[in-house]
Amino acid sequence: MNNLPILFMFSLLACLNHAIELDFCVGDLSLPRGPEGYACKDPTNVTADDFVYTGFRGEKVTSSVFKNNITLAFVEAFPALNGLGISLARLDLGVGGVIPVHSHRTSEIIIVVKGTIIAGFMDQNNTAYYKQLEVGDVMIFPTAMLHFQVNAGSTPALAFVSLNSENPAVQLTTFSLFGGNLPAEIAQQITYLSHQEVMRMRGIFAKA
Amino acid sequence: MNNLPILFMFSLLACLNHAIELDFCVGDLSLPRGPEGYACKDPTNVTADDFVYTGFRGEKVTSSVFKNNITLAFVEAFPALNGLGISLARLDLGVGGVIPVHSHRTSEIIIVVKGTIIAGFMDQNNTAYYKQLEVGDVMIFPTAMLHFQVNAGSTPALAFVSLNSENPAVQLTTFSLFGGNLPAEIAQQITYLSHQEVMRMRGIFAKA
Amino acid sequence: MNNLPILFMFSLLACLNHAIELDFCVGDLSLPRGPEGYACKDPTNVTADDFVYTGFRGEKVTSSVFKNNITLAFVEAFPALNGLGISLARLDLGVGGVIPVHSHRTSEIIIVVKGTIIAGFMDQNNTAYYKQLEVGDVMIFPTAMLHFQVNAGSTPALAFVSLNSENPAVQLTTFSLFGGNLPAEIAQQITYLSHQEVMRMRGIFAKA
Amino acid sequence: MNNLPILFMFSLLACLNHAIELDFCVGDLSLPRGPEGYACKDPTNVTADDFVYTGFRGEKVTSSVFKNNITLAFVEAFPALNGLGISLARLDLGVGGVIPVHSHRTSEIIIVVKGTIIAGFMDQNNTAYYKQLEVGDVMIFPTAMLHFQVNAGSTPALAFVSLNSENPAVQLTTFSLFGGNLPAEIAQQITYLSHQEVMRMRGIFAKA
Amino acid sequence: MNNLPILFMFSLLACLNHAIELDFCVGDLSLPRGPEGYACKDPTNVTADDFVYTGFRGEKVTSSVFKNNITLAFVEAFPALNGLGISLARLDLGVGGVIPVHSHRTSEIIIVVKGTIIAGFMDQNNTAYYKQLEVGDVMIFPTAMLHFQVNAGSTPALAFVSLNSENPAVQLTTFSLFGGNLPAEIAQQITYLSHQEVMRMRGIFAKA
Amino acid sequence: MNNLPILFMFSLLACLNHAIELDFCVGDLSLPRGPEGYACKDPTNVTADDFVYTGFRGEKVTSSVFKNNITLAFVEAFPALNGLGISLARLDLGVGGVIPVHSHRTSEIIIVVKGTIIAGFMDQNNTAYYKQLEVGDVMIFPTAMLHFQVNAGSTPALAFVSLNSENPAVQLTTFSLFGGNLPAEIAQQITYLSHQEVMRMRGIFAKA
């Protein structure tokens, strides 16, 4: 009876041995990437540590003008997500803190862990769906819609958001319009903002 | 020899007869729709006319402030697109005309048919990629990125854009921020625009 | 100048008016569903409340043998997720608490909010990747792999998991084998467990 | 100890009770279908029989001109496939039997169970990849490419093919050109066949 | 006040700095490609020019037997499409010009810009859906179905087609059957064309 | 007339020449792979042989404890499947043979070719759907559900299964729990099996 298992492991595992594929593809950021993500790290070098991300530990400083701190566990910071279609971000909002209006290629779901947050999105009919969220509340922002989060309370707020791509993109609307190389004249034409306001915004958002 | 074909049609078509599925699903807008689109119109009532959309014919008036005219051949206007993952829009830009900054859930490809257009998009690093397009030029706007089109010439411009969804959404950024029910206070917080400018924009964009 | 905006809204919104599609499809659980989810609730009845789920509020009792409590914000409990490809669950683990080995159709990402959890998964080569997670740690469980979470500390633990489907399924392995209508004889054959152990497990897991 | 399991089942199953979604969606062919398939049969009426298709049993007659018999286990004949993305077909080829050139929306994989078959496909560079297959041989036909199977032996042949959609479509090229309502003049223009041959083909393929 | 923006840019952009992923993946045709497309060109070398294709400019000569000219803005000619799921083609049809019967892996949508075109497709029930299209008309050809375009007027015709893949394939039916290395005997068997006609077609379509 | 075809081939093929993309991507197992599969083998070296897999030929020995033999035509063994979304496996079951409980990332469809097999799956409500299959019977196992096959007859059984991925994974439940490096203590906690049984199972399944 004792040698049966050995036989059995031998034959069943042997037949599977040459056809066992990868169940994950931890990204190797040093190799060229394709449209669907990074090439896979050699699986013989993958350990449990690859599947754990510790960048959300501890307190986060919310010292910006928007009094926020965004920490992204997207594929570049957490290469084990490569190809798995999901990611996470930590949002810290100081008192008065704001995550400015932005969008992703994906849907987003938020869970509030501390504080009180007004969150919402606008759809293509310009209807805003927004609500005050308490600790434990969950809100869904449909795919690609403009959305935002604002600390509505008198204490810091903390939330986690999950997005259904490992590379969902974060396009901050006003940063895109005023914080890069888009000429002021075009920014004005495509927003209908006043020249004066466009210049003020560029003063704030443009890279020094 | 003559009766062979008859026999043959009988047996081959007969065996296929009860398992032939639909190759299309022309939307029936009167039935409840699901996340992937409309229920299918009864295929016995589908004719070649269902697959043709004529709403792009003729001249379009570009009388708005933005001096544009957007005609959408999306699934609601053209139900044969239901489930087929593609759509088309016609863009008319008068002299000085603009398609304001906006985004979709999808990619977009443009072909300029008349006139000269400056078109571009911003990525999440706030880099703007924009260029002057002449007749015959094609430009691609990557999935979900903010983008725009501006008539850069002294004559009206005409272009067609195709999007890889029959329901790609058109979210016009400034309309979403100022043209619907989003409170002015939130609009100000999430954009960093001045109170005065937010009120001015709402005056322009808000539905009368 | 004053009548310009009115003109402008008239022409631009008018042309969009008949082609504006849905950006979301809040599930109407009373209608027949299809393979991709529920039919959409009438959008004119959708409010911001539809996009918020409050079932994670407050404390959860962890009184089961496994000393856990699983609260699912999947599409049935939170119909706004319908078609949006993401969901969330709250895991409460009392001292000694366990989420038994299980699998989903999707990937899963976990964030630990309280306590200490040993979490892990096995791949098809029977390699287990497991690690002790502290507060703030994130772990990814690749698509469809067997995985588990165990409270490794001396205090209750709390975690949230997100899955990239609104209907990801939760198949608890031992419940499927011993808690339903699978005959004991087959359960024994397909697991190689002893007859005695199969009967003991069925005594525990079978519905009374 | 005895009442522990009862308690345990109560709490764990209770919390899951209202959030358990469907793992399958057996098609209800009497309800309207959408682009992704049929509405789901009420799951309380689903039994193991729904998941089994017996239409491939026994011998098949191959009496057509092409001396073949095609039996399709596609979603219409086997509604349990609805939404599951796979299907099967049985191919019987009498001596001299042929599956005429055709295409699908999907990939196809064939396994030869009896006899000898020459199978192949053409790619868009007009390269034909074809080979004689013996019992046990497997061949893959890439997505949407024209392909065919011909009995190359002196005995009947039997094969099964699987396709990665429950509704992959079978478009038989010459049937589409000559067996329906396409006018002869157009058929001639778009194929460059002679008028005489087009008329001969229509005589064979046209529905009596 | 002046140093606030600097502080703000520092903290918000800094935290995003190491997690900003690509929004596009302009194909690098010199690197190995995978099933989903080419590896990405180094994004630091990408400019606005990459996103613009000028190969549709000017007049096209329609001197072939089919009196057509097909210009493809598919991923090989326009590498910025890589991974973005859409492409474009320009169809020029001289008087009497024809785009012979063909198919793609995708859906196709056509917009007629000049002239009059009869376009259509056949479904798997051998029903042809065809119609005469005027300037401005749009037609949809469902996924993978055989379809065609014929100049129906007395002047040259021009149309653009968009397909929902950057690599949709163009399989010209008669070219695949007669223009490559498929043996005449097999071509005859799988089409039921006469031997004489197969030989005539090969004479026309075979590469010299 | 004779030189027309030459002219025609010249112009039509010439215009297509630089834009013809790949229709397949035979995996090159020596290159780095990405989340969607292997890099493509140089298409100029691809022949018909690449598309044919002969590893299912002949008789298979079923000498393991489970008296089975599983032969996988997955992408690693059959690289032409790369990117095509389908695969095949051959199941040989000796008298008393069993395919132990397992799961995939995909759906699976089975066709019984010899013998009698009891096959089934459990859903997340712990309902088992199982049935005795005769020669010619087809059964579908929904995506990611635990399932099994048992020889129910007095002769060897043979079946083929197809899965809608070229890399569907095979996770054998008891092998994952007891045959790898998962500590016995955790295995016990997450299954509720007795310590004694866990140790017995590890004795059987653990690699020597």
**Other Cβ atoms within 10 Å of B96 Cβ, number:** 15
Is residue C19 scored above 70 in pLDDT?
A: no
Note the pLDDT of residue C207.
57
B204 and B105, same structural domain?
no
Report the residue from A34, A66, A169 with minimal CB separation from E40.
A34
- Residue B46 in domain: yes
Same domain, A67 and A154: yes
Higher per-residue confidence, A24 vs C206: A24
SS3 content of chain C, % helix, strand, coil (to 5): 25, 30, 45
Quote the pLDDT of residue A1. 35
Residues of D at the C interface, defined by Cβ within 8 angstroms: 4-13, 15-16, 18-23, 25, 28, 31, 33-34, 36-40, 82-84
Which parts of chain E are beta strand (E)?
A: 52-53, 68-73, 87-93, 98-103, 108-114, 117-122, 128-133, 138-141, 147-151, 157-163, 171-172
Amino acid at C13: L
Interchain CB distance below 8 Å, F78 and D140 = yes
CATH number of the CATH domain containing F87: 2.60.120.10
For chain F, report the end-to-end CA distance as a whole number of angstroms.
Answer: 77
If asked whether residues F160 and F206 sit together in one domain, one would say no
Question: ∠ at Cα E93 (E91, E97), nearest 5°?
Answer: 135
Q: Mean pLDDT, chain B, as a whole number?
A: 90
Asked if D82 and C35 come within 8 Å (Cβ–Cβ), the reply is: yes
Query: Please, are residues D160 and D111 in contact by the beta-carbon 8 Å criterion?
Result: yes
B193 and B110, same domain (yes or no) = no
**Can you tell me the distance from the alpha carbon of A82 to that of C140, in angstroms, rounded to the nearest whole number?**
10
| C-alpha dihedral sign at C202, C203, C208, D3 | negative
| Residue ranges of chain E whose CB lies within 8 Å of a chain A CB | 4-13, 15-16, 18-23, 25, 28, 31, 33-34, 36-40, 82-84
User: Testing the interface with E: which of B47, B54, B149, B162 to mutate, by most E Cβ within 10 A?
Assistant: B162
Chain C residues whose CB is inside 8 A of the A75 CB are none
Of E7, E10, E40, the CB nearest to A32: E40
pLDDT of D20 reads: 55
Whether A165 is covered by a domain: the verdict is yes
Instruction: Tell me: do F82 and F130 sit in the same domain.
Output: yes
**In 10 A of CB A63, how many CB atoms?**
15
Residues of each annotated binding site of E for Mn(2+):
102, 104, 108, 147
Token pair in block for residue C121:
């998964």
E120 part of a folded domain: no
> Of B28, B76, B25, whose CA–CA distance to B53 is shortest?
B76
Chains that touch B (3 or more CB pairs under 8 A): A, C, D, E
Mean pLDDT for the stretch of residues D79-91:
98
3-class DSSP state of A121: strand
CA distance B143 to chain D (A): 23
Per CB-CB distance under 8 Å, the chain B contacts of C8 are: 64-66, 204
pLDDT band of E137, cuts 50, 70, 90 = very high
Nearest CA in chain E to D196: E197
The band of E121, judged by pLDDT with boundaries at 50, 70 and 90, is very high
A99 lies in some domain = yes
Over chain C, what is the mean pLDDT? 90
DSSP assignment letter at F180: S
Q: Which residues of chain F have pLDDT under 50?
A: 1-19, 208
Is there a contact between F24 and F84 (Cβ–Cβ < 8 Å)?
yes
The 10 Å CB-count burial string (b at 16+, else e) for F137-171 is: bbbbbbbbbbbbbbbbbeebbbbbbbbbbbbbbbb
- Widest distance between CA atoms in chain E: 87
- The answer to the question of residue B5 being in a domain is no
Q: Which of F34, F65, F71 sits opposite A38 (nearest CB)?
A: F34
In this structure, the number of other CB atoms found within 10 A of the CB of residue E128 comes to 20
- The answer to whether A206 and B192 have CB atoms below 8 angstroms apart is no
User: Inter-chain contact C40–B34, Cβ cutoff 8 Å?
Assistant: yes
Residue C156 has pLDDT above 60, yes or no: yes
Among A76-90, B125-139, C9-23, C62-76, the minimum mean pLDDT is found in C9-23
- Do F25 and F107 sit in the same domain of this protein? yes
What backbone phi and psi angles, to 5 degrees, belong to F140?
Answer: -110, 135
- Strand order from edge to edge, sheet including E157-163: B52-53, E138-141, E108-114, E157-163, E87-93, E68-73
Interchain contact C/B (3 or more Cβ pairs less than 8 Å):
yes
Q: Do E107 and B124 make contact, defined as CB atoms within 8 angstroms?
A: no
Inter-chain residue contact D182 with E125, CB threshold 8 Å:
no
Residue F155 to residue F158: CA distance in whole angstroms:
10
Residue of E nearest to A82 (CA): E21
* Touching chains, F (3+ CB pairs < 8 A): A, C, D, E
Amino acid at B166: E
* Token code pair at residue B135: 């007749």
CA E176 – CA D146 distance, rounded (Å): 8
Pair D169, E173: CB distance under 8 Å: no
Asked, for residue A199, whether it belongs to a domain, the answer is yes
Residues of B in contact with E24 (CB under 8 A): 123, 142
Burial of residue E185 (CB within 10 Å: 0-12, 13-18, 19+) is exposed
Give the distance from residue B24's alpha carbon to the nearest chain D alpha carbon, in angstroms: 7
- Statement to judge: residues C116 and C96 lie in one domain: yes
Put simply, the answer to whether D5 touches C205 (Cβ < 8 Å) is yes
Spell out which residues of chain C touch residue D8, defining contact as CB-CB under 8 Å: 64-66, 204
Model pLDDT, residue C9: 40
Q: Which residues contact F1 (CB under 8 A, 6 or more apart)?
A: none
Q: How many CB atoms lie within 10 A of CB A74?
A: 24
Structure tokens at D108: 């196809």
Query: Torsion-angle region of residue F92: left (phi > 0), alpha (psi -120 to 50) or beta?
Result: beta
Q: Is the pLDDT of residue E8 over 60?
A: no
Give me the sign of the Cα torsion angle F13, F14, F16, F22. positive
In whole angstroms, what is the distance from residue E87 CA to residue E81 CA?
Answer: 7
Task: List the domain range (segments joined by +) for residue F140.
Answer: 1-169
Chain D positions touching F75 (Cβ under 8 A) are none
Q: Give A200 or B206, the one with higher predicted confidence.
A: A200
The answer to the question of residue B44 being in a domain is: yes
Distance from CA of E144 to the nearest CA of A (A): 24
Domain identity same for B106 and B181: no
Per DSSP (E only), the strands in chain C are 52-53, 68-73, 87-93, 98-103, 108-114, 117-122, 128-133, 138-141, 147-151, 157-163, 171-172
Closest-CA residue in chain E for B129? E48
> Does residue E63 carry a pLDDT above 90?
no
Q: Is A147 annotated as a binding residue?
A: yes
Q: Which is more confident, D9 or E30?
A: E30
CA-nearest residue to C194 within chain F is F197
Nearest C-alpha neighbor of D79 from the set D168, D169, D162, D166: D166
Residue F129 sits in the same domain as residue F206 = no
Q: Which residues of F touch C148 (CB under 8 A)?
A: 186, 189-190
Chains in contact with E, where contact means 3 or more Cβ–Cβ distances below 8 Å, are A, B, D, F
**Closest Cβ–Cβ partner in D5, D23, D38 for C34:** D38
- For residue B11, the SS3 value is helix
Number of structural domains chain B divides into = 2
Rounded to whole angstroms, the Cα distance separating F175 from D35 reads 40
Confidence (pLDDT) at C20: 54
Chains linked to C by 3 or more Cβ pairs within 8 Å:
A, B, D, F
- At a CB cut-off of 8 Å and minimum separation 6, what does F17 contact? none
Q: ∠ CA B168-B171-B176 to the nearest 5 degrees?
A: 155
Contact F170, F139 (CB under 8 A): no
Same domain, F200 and F136: no
Q: Nearest CA to F126 among D19, D13, D45?
A: D13
Of E32, E63, E76, the CB nearest to F11: E63
Cα-based distances in Å from E197 to C95, D204, D206, E65: 81, 15, 19, 18
pLDDT at B32: 83
Structure-block tokens of residue E91: 């169809």
Residue of A nearest to E38 (CA): A34
pLDDT surpasses 70 at A7: no
- Any idea which residue has 């990437």 for tokens? A33
pLDDT classification of C21: cutoffs 50, 70, 90: low
pLDDT of A16 higher than 50: no
Rounded Cα–Cα distance for residues F93 and E149 (Å): 54
Pair of tokens at residue F77? 């063994």
Q: What is the pLDDT of residue F200?
A: 97
Span of A51-60, D1-10, E15-24 with lowest mean pLDDT: D1-10
Q: Strands, DSSP E only, in chain D?
A: 52-53, 68-73, 87-93, 98-103, 108-114, 117-122, 128-133, 138-141, 147-151, 157-163, 171-172
pLDDT at position F6, please? Answer: 40
Tell whether residue D108 is among the known ligand binding residues: yes
* Alpha helical stretches, state H, B98-147: none
**In this structure, are F120 and F145 located in the same domain?**
yes
For chain E, what percent of residues have pLDDT higher than 70? 89
For E143, the closest of B84, B133, B145 (CB atoms) is: B84
CA dist., res. D53 & res. F141, Å (int) = 12
Considering only the beta carbons, identify the residue of F47, F106, F136 that sits closest to D56. F136
Do C162 and C113 touch, CB atoms closer than 8 A?
Answer: no
Rounded distance between C-alpha atoms, residue B191 and residue A178, angstroms: 11
Is residue E149 within 8 A of residue E93, CB to CB? The reply is yes
Q: What is the C-alpha separation between B29 and A186, in angstroms, rounded?
A: 39
Other CB atoms within a 10 A radius of the CB of residue C1 amount to: 4
Sort out which chain E residues have CB atoms less than 8 A from A178's CB and list them: none
Judge if B60 and B111 occupy the same domain. Answer: yes
Put simply, the answer to whether A5 touches F74 (Cβ < 8 Å) is no
* CB nearest to D191's CB, from E65, E100, E104: E100
Which amino acid belongs to residue B199?
M
Contact call for C33 and D12, based on CB within 8 A: no
d(CA E29, CA E81): 12
Element (H, E) at D177: helix D173-178
Let me know if residue D21 belongs to a domain.
no
Residue of F nearest to E207 (CA): F9
Using the structure block, give the residue that is written with the tokens 């042309």: C15
Mean pLDDT of chain D: 90
- Percent of chain C at pLDDT exceeding 90: 86
Put simply, the answer to whether C16 touches B72 (Cβ < 8 Å) is yes
Q: Residue F27 has which token pair?
A: 């995996």
Contact B179 C25 (CB under 8 A): no
